[in-house]
Amino acid sequence: MPTRREAIVKAAGDIFATKGFMGAKVREITDEAGILSGSLYHHFDSKEALALEVVQGYYESMLRSFRTVAGSSLDPGDMFVELIRVSCKGIAQSPGAVGLLLNSGHYLLALPRFAAVACMNDEIRRIWIGVLEAGRASGEWKADLDPDLVYRSVRDVLAGAVRWWSDEGRFSIDELAERYAEMLLYGIGTA
């Protein structure tokens, strides 16, 4: 039985992901959550604070997983796959957060209130970059691989999945992760 607060965060995630931070009206969110608009402010300071809550939990969980993976003794290739798997799990678990970040991340992460989140975002980026550099250094991957370019690509491909992936679709989230990993590691060619 979810608490009222959790119900609000859930509703907010759904609406935010669909309509963006600015496009989402607090009335819509509270309607979805089954409360009146004023009641929102018992639980959250502002619409911004609500968005923060939506996003923060996701980032904390994601960062925990990323640190675990980064701290393991896997080789770069397996680590890369594992990061993809973890990222996909995040999409399945927090589609609202990922959707919101996808359409409004640029705006939100610049807000003072989101400084800590921006920090976590950066640590996650550094972990990706670290793995990519390690794989390049070990000769496992191409010498001219551009870690920054690849990081951005991976991030955008994975996040984009939130727009269409569903529990009931063709792929389980783990299958999706596997396909993405294969595509990114080996490309679409048969060569």
- The angle at the Cα of 136, spanning 75 to 67, to the nearest 5 degrees, equals 45
Nearest to 63 by CA among 12, 150, 126: 126
Task: Pick one of 11, 24, 162, 173: the residue that binds DNA (CB under 7 A).
Answer: 24
Q: Does 187 bind a copy of itself (CB under 8 A)?
A: yes
Tokens 């496009």, located at residue: 23
- Cα–Cα distance between 97 and 162 in angstroms, integer? 10
134 binds, among a copy of itself, DNA, none (CB under 5 to 8 A by kind): none
Task: Pick one of 29, 150, 173, 177: the residue that binds a copy of itself (CB under 8 A).
Answer: 150
Q: Does 112 bind a copy of itself (CB under 8 A)?
A: no
Task: Pick one of 42, 46, 75, 107: the residue that binds a copy of itself (CB under 8 A).
Answer: 107
- Cα–Cα distance between 44 and 6 in angstroms, integer? 12
188 binds, among a copy of itself, DNA, none (CB under 5 to 8 A by kind): a copy of itself
Tell me the three-class secondary structure of 99-127, residue by residue: HHHHHHHHHHCCCHHHHHHHHHHHHHHHH
- Yes or no: say if 142 and 136 are a contact pair by the CB < 8 Å rule: yes
- Which residues contribute to the site for a copy of itself (CB under 8 A)? 18-20, 22-23, 77, 103-104, 106-107, 132, 135, 139-142, 145-146, 149-150, 152-153, 155-157, 159-161, 163-164, 179-180, 183-191
Which residues contact DNA by CB under 7 A? Answer: 4-5, 24-27, 35-43, 45-48
